[in-house]
Amino acid sequence: MSETPVDELGYEAARDELVDVVKVLEQGGLDLDASLALWERGEALAARCEQHLAGARARVEDALAGRDDD
Amino acid sequence: MTSPPVSSPENPLPVRSVATKVAGWIDRLGSIWVEGQLTQVSVRQGTRTAFLTLRDPAADMSLSVTCSPMLIQSSPVPVVEGARVVLYGKLSFFTGRGTISLRATEIRAIGVGELLARIERLRGMLAAEGLFDPRLKRPLPFLPRAVGLITARASAAEKDVLSVARRRWPAVRFEVRNTPVQGPSAVPGILRAIAELDEHPDVDVIVLARGGGSVEDLLPFSDEALCRAVVAARTPIVSAIGHEPDSPLSDHVADVRAATPTDAAKRVVPDAEAELALVAELRARSSAALRGWVAREARGLDALRNRPVLADPVSGLDRRGEEIAEMRRVVRRDVRRALAAESTAVDHLRARLVTLGPAATLARGYAVVQRVVPGDDPEVLRSVVDAPPGTQLRIRVADGSVTAVGMGRVAAPSTASERMDP
């Protein structure tokens, strides 16, 4: 596959691609191999998004916890 | 004419010959018209000769005049002292007394009309010379060191000027010069007084004052010599002659024309009481203005002090602190909200992915087996035919994939046998 490795995608890129993956799967018409590969890519993108969001949430909470001590 | 007779201390001339020669010389002058003012008229009963004195109205000069008493009695105008007359006569030298006199044979009085016409002519001439020019008028001093007053002795004009001026300014100083104010000696006397007061170091203003009178009475104040002296004087001169309607030429050449002597007094000295009242009023107004200014400024300062920024300097900081806190609260809420929204979006995407993909099927225990093709994407394994022993396989289950190698193959009893055994 020619896609960028999921680990190298930023949050927006990962999310946008995930949206596209879902759309393509919803349209159907793919053979099992292609849809299986697309689905696996989607899973990986979703995991990447969750990873990003978790990191962002942790940074926000850390920053607030540090600042509230002032 | 004749050359003077030879005389020396050794050869003096006798009186008779001098007198005779003078008489002869004067006799040759012939008859002339002379104008002047009569100062003496003496007609003695029983004499054949009347004696008059004719005086120049401006200069201190006079002529003796004789005439027949009949001429005086038959004159169409009264020949009295003070009258302006024109005489026709012949000068003669009386050898007996050594005097010269004019033997008059005709006397003409100068009428009022003629006098006014002369004044008008003089007025025109002086105006043409520019002597009435307002630019020549000198201003009166506010408070003269001394006031020169030229007026008749013990006259109402003198009394008016002195009393009114003293009532207005008790400390006023006068330099009074009493002169005749009518008749032939008026002009010379007034000229002397003007010259004297003009020289006086303390006199800052000169008042010419005279009560009302006839045209003839006021004549000296329309005299050309007097008018020129008024113009020439360095000291400002106030003309206060007669009553309001009287307008001798001195009124026009003077620096200030006062309607009456009382008016002149009002103009030359300030009214002390009025001035003091004015000063008091100005002081009161200026101090009130200053107090008002101070009060206004104080109010302005108080208002500035009471402005929130000065009255409570911390309040501005507090407000800004509150703003910052509010913004921080908002930004925290927003970032959490944004994270939550994104999480929800990703959850939804994942949920859809689950429904679309084989995840649920895989979760039930099914697996998808793919044949790994080197250099190509893996292919789903649909038949044992495609997987001879040793084939690399990828088995996708619910939570990942397993790689395996086919060890053998068994066809399903019903369908696959003819395929396995061709």
Which residue reads 């009166």 in tokens?
B140
Supply the pLDDT for residue A30. Answer: 82
Instruction: Tell me if B54 sits within 8 A of B121, measured CB to CB.
Output: no
Distance CA B107, CA B43 (A): 15
> Above 70 in pLDDT, residue B200?
yes
Residue B212 contacts A where some CB pair is shorter than 8 Å: no
In DSSP terms, which residues pair with B79 in a beta bridge? none
Of the two residues B237 and B312, the one the predictor is more confident about is B237
The secondary element (H helix, E strand) that includes residue B210 is strand B203-210
The token pair at B32 is 């002339």
Smallest Cα distance from B386 to chain A, Å: 15
Which residue reads 């540090």 in tokens?
A66
Instruction: Tell me if B252 sits within 8 A of B123, measured CB to CB.
Output: yes
How far from the centroid of its chain's Cα atoms is residue B285's Cα? Answer: 21
Interface of A with B (CB under 8 A): 1, 11, 15, 18-19, 21-22, 25-26, 32-33, 35-37, 39-40, 42-43, 46, 49-50, 53, 56-57, 60, 64
Rounded to 10°, the helix B313-356/A32-68 angle is: 160
Q: For residues B96-120, give the mean pLDDT.
A: 83
Instruction: Tell me if B168 sits within 8 A of B271, measured CB to CB.
Output: yes
Distance CA B335, CA B224 (A): 112
The token pair at B205 is 């203003």
Contacts for B151 with CB less than 8 Å, ≥ 6 apart: B157, B158, B161, B176, B178, B179, B181, B207, B208, B209, B210, B261
Q: Which of B332, B353, B359 is the closest to A22 by Cβ?
A: B353
> Above 80 in pLDDT, residue B312?
no
> Above 60 in pLDDT, residue B259?
yes
Q: How confident is the model at residue B317 (pLDDT cuts 50, 70, 90)?
A: confident
Selection from A32, A51, A52, A50 nearest residue A40 by Cα: A32
Determine how β-strand B31-42 pairs with β-strand B174-178: unpaired
Supply the pLDDT for residue B136. Answer: 86
A·B CB contacts under 8 A: 70
Sign of CA dihedral B336, B339, B344, B347: negative
DSSP letters along B276-343, please?
HHHHHHHHHHHHHHHHHHHHHHHHHHHHHHHSHHHH-HHHHHHHHHHHHHHHHHHHHHHHHHHHHHHH
Q: How confident is the model at residue B176 (pLDDT cuts 50, 70, 90)?
A: very high
Q: What is the CB neighbour count within 10 angstroms for residue B223?
A: 22
Q: How confident is the model at residue B85 (pLDDT cuts 50, 70, 90)?
A: confident
Q: What is the CB neighbour count within 10 angstroms for residue B38?
A: 23
Q: Which of A15, A18, A60 is the closest to B336 by Cβ?
A: A60
Lowest mean pLDDT: which of A2-11, B48-57, B288-297? A2-11
In DSSP terms, which residues pair with B209 in a beta bridge? B240
Helix then strand then coil, % of chain B, to nearest 5: 45, 20, 35
- Across the interface, whether the CB atoms of B346 and A53 are under 8 A apart is answered yes
8-state DSSP, B58: S
- Across the interface, whether the CB atoms of B349 and A25 are under 8 A apart is answered no
The CA distances from residue A24 to A15, A27, A29, A41, A42, in Å, are 14, 5, 9, 12, 11
Distance CA B240, CA B161 (A): 10
The CA distances from residue B11 to B6, B7, B18, B330, in Å, are 8, 5, 13, 147
Residue B360 contacts A where some CB pair is shorter than 8 Å: no
In DSSP terms, which residues pair with B174 in a beta bridge? B147
Q: How confident is the model at residue B421 (pLDDT cuts 50, 70, 90)?
A: very low
pLDDT by residue (tens digit) across B369-419? 999 888 888 888 888 888 889 899 999 998 888 999 988 888 887 654 444
pLDDT by residue (tens digit) across B143-160? 889 999 999 998 888 999
B6-35 residues labelled b (16+ CB within 10 A) or e (exposed): eeeeeeeeeeeeebeeebeeeeeeeeeebe
> Above 50 in pLDDT, residue B322?
yes
pLDDT by residue (tens digit) across B178-188? 999 888 788 99
Lowest mean pLDDT: which of B102-116, B265-279, B338-352? B102-116
Q: How confident is the model at residue B303 (pLDDT cuts 50, 70, 90)?
A: confident
The CA distances from residue B264 to B117, B239, B241, in Å, are 28, 8, 10
Sign of CA dihedral B334, B340, B341, B346: positive
Supply the pLDDT for residue B2. Answer: 54
In DSSP terms, which residues pair with B40 in a beta bridge? B53
> Above 80 in pLDDT, residue B222?
yes
> Above 50 in pLDDT, residue B226?
yes
pTM of the complete model: 0.46
Supply the pLDDT for residue B148. Answer: 93
Report how far apart the first and last C-alpha atoms of chain B are (Å, whole number). 198
How far from the centroid of its chain's Cα atoms is residue B224's Cα? Answer: 37
Supply the pLDDT for residue B395. Answer: 92
> Above 80 in pLDDT, residue B245?
no
Distance CA B32, CA B350 (A): 153
Q: For residues B358-364, give the mean pLDDT.
A: 84
* Contact residues, chain B, for A19 at CB < 8 Å: 349
The token pair at B171 is 């400390």
